[in-house]
Chain A
């Protein structure tokens, strides 16, 4: 009975930590994005609310919370609200299988810094990732507005195309690791002294393309296309509902997919890797904290990379994006899969 209580308390603490990370960091990433965008365009960005705009996300949140609740008159109210629930829940649920660091011991209890180490972790990630298409299709359909429908159809088409590509791309690292559990994948990379990005560069590039497409980040942001579609499928949403869609799409999903990319290709919490030789840890002085710092560092670098792309690249057309997915990315992943299957026995030893 006591074991059950301890388990429940630990689980709840983990959930609170994950929610704090997702919503707190997610909200503050809006400020990071605005600052980075501003400095890329050689302007200071938000400066008024707080020191260098540090309180800006709070002000934005308050503003969104106190807006009137509007609903487009010809829409479907149930689906309209369901779209919001289906956007937030699966995207955040992905964090349940993101391992933040190695197992540690606190107060005599062994704790894994991952909510649930299920043995189908990656399958869960991509199953939940596919749910995003429902929320977007529903949001556009239920709003019953032409801009929203066009935006949501574009986004759904892109997600549908890159969904296939991303599932085939991650199969390479899975073959090398021989498991679907995210925790074990990282552990295997540490045991094999190898970040899988060294052997899976094709898979990594394809994964990054798919990540940008699924989150609607710039070269693939046709669903938003503010010059032609206003804001795409969120046109008819207001207040916090409007705030939540970009939060989920641009921050929570980018964060979760970056974290999964770090897990799959960059050895999760492990320090810098020299292939087959070992790991070099310039942050050794942090002691037991260093794995967590490494993980956060890698995820933030990937996130900043996505931001950098967002504010420097132009936008493609929908036909170019989907044709790239089917004609370039998918054959590449097939080739990568067969190649990986050929040389994988050398890695397992």
Chain B
């Protein structure tokens, strides 16, 4: 029952978002100018048409780190809820887990994965 309310809300929001997507097409004027849909680049012609070729590799590394640590966060969430009933056993178990986690972080730190990868360094 609780989740059905969530589902109703989701579909109402989806409808609203679709309204926002199409409302300008309905209400707005339609003019035709040769360059009006040209990608913005400070008024100069585009050097290449696609911008989807390169981005900084540092972002890729951040994504990898997120995968590692967010999965571990997913392990910790159930523990935080039932920790009250686990007693000293739960504490020691999770202390060891967090210790290993910290070790993983230190390893990444030592390897330089946490540093922003400047391109100058590779030259």
**Size band of the A side of the interface?**
35 or more
Does B21 count as interface, using CB distance less than 8 angstroms?
yes
Whether the pair B17, A85 counts as a contact (CB closer than 8 A) is: yes
Docked CA distance A171–B29 (Å): 51
Chain B nearest CB, measured from A321 CB (Å): 9
Chain B nearest CB, measured from A135 CB (Å): 11
B1-44 CB contact bits vs A (8 Å, 1 = yes)? 11101101110111011101101110111110000111111000
Chain B interface, number of residues (Cβ within 8 angstroms)? 65
Query: Which residues of A have CB within 8 Å of B8?
Result: 11-12, 15
Complex interface: stretch among A44-52, A156-164, A189-197, A218-226 = A156-164
Docked CA distance A167–B72 (Å): 10
Whether the pair A230, B40 counts as a contact (CB closer than 8 A) is: yes
Does B122 count as interface, using CB distance less than 8 angstroms?
no
Whether the pair B6, A118 counts as a contact (CB closer than 8 A) is: yes
Does B84 count as interface, using CB distance less than 8 angstroms?
yes
Interface residues of B (CB under 8 A from A): 1-3, 5-6, 8-10, 12-14, 16-18, 20-21, 23-25, 27-31, 36-41, 49-52, 55-56, 58-59, 62-63, 65-66, 69-70, 73, 76-77, 80-84, 91, 94-95, 98, 101-102, 105, 108-109, 114-116, 118
Whether A164 touches B21, Cβ cut-off 8 Å, given contacts A11-B8, A15-B9, A174-B81, is: no
Question: Of A68, A75, A175, A331, which contacts B102 at CB under 8 A?
Answer: A331
Does A295 count as interface, using CB distance less than 8 angstroms?
no
Whether the pair B73, A164 counts as a contact (CB closer than 8 A) is: yes
Residue of A nearest to B21 (CB): A81
Question: 3 closest Cβ contacts across the A-B interface?
Answer: A319-B116, A239-B24, A69-B24
Question: For residues 171 through 204 of chain A, which have their beta carbon under 8 Å from a beta carbon of chain B?
Answer: 171, 174-175, 178-180
Whether the pair A160, B50 counts as a contact (CB closer than 8 A) is: no
Chain A nearest CB, measured from B91 CB (Å): 6
Q: With a 10 A CB-CB cut-off, give which of B37, B50, B56, B80 has the most chain A CB atoms.
A: B80
Whether the pair B9, A337 counts as a contact (CB closer than 8 A) is: no
A234-272 CB contact bits vs B (8 Å, 1 = yes)? 011011110010000000000000000000000000000
Whether the pair B51, A85 counts as a contact (CB closer than 8 A) is: no
Question: For residues 197 through 217 of chain A, which have their beta carbon under 8 Å from a beta carbon of chain B?
Answer: none
Residue of A nearest to B85 (CB): A178
Docked CA distance A12–B2 (Å): 13
Whether the pair B76, A241 counts as a contact (CB closer than 8 A) is: no
A9-39 CB contact bits vs B (8 Å, 1 = yes)? 0011011001100000000000000000000
Whether the pair B50, A236 counts as a contact (CB closer than 8 A) is: no
Q: With a 10 A CB-CB cut-off, give which of B9, B49, B77, B116 has the most chain A CB atoms.
A: B9
Whether A147 touches B40, Cβ cut-off 8 Å, given contacts A67-B24, A93-B6, is: yes
Residue of B nearest to A341 (CB): B91
- A sample of 5 more A-B contacts (CB under 8 A), given A84-B20, A330-B105, is A66-B29, A89-B10, A156-B59, A322-B58, A331-B102
Q: With a 10 A CB-CB cut-off, give which of A14, A74, A156 has the most chain B CB atoms.
A: A74
Whether the pair A92, B13 counts as a contact (CB closer than 8 A) is: yes
Whether the pair A330, B69 counts as a contact (CB closer than 8 A) is: yes
Query: Which residues of B have CB within 8 Å of A290?
Result: none
Question: Of B3, B23, B31, B91, which contacts A116 at CB under 8 A?
Answer: B3
Does A98 count as interface, using CB distance less than 8 angstroms?
no
Can you report 9 A-B residue pairs in the complex whose CB atoms are below 8 A from each other? Answer: A88-B13, A96-B9, A115-B6, A116-B2, A160-B62, A160-B63, A168-B73, A330-B105, A334-B105
Question: Of B2, B39, B76, which contacts A73 at CB under 8 A?
Answer: B39
Question: Of A149, A331, A337, which contacts B55 at CB under 8 A?
Answer: A149
Chain B nearest CB, measured from A139 CB (Å): 13
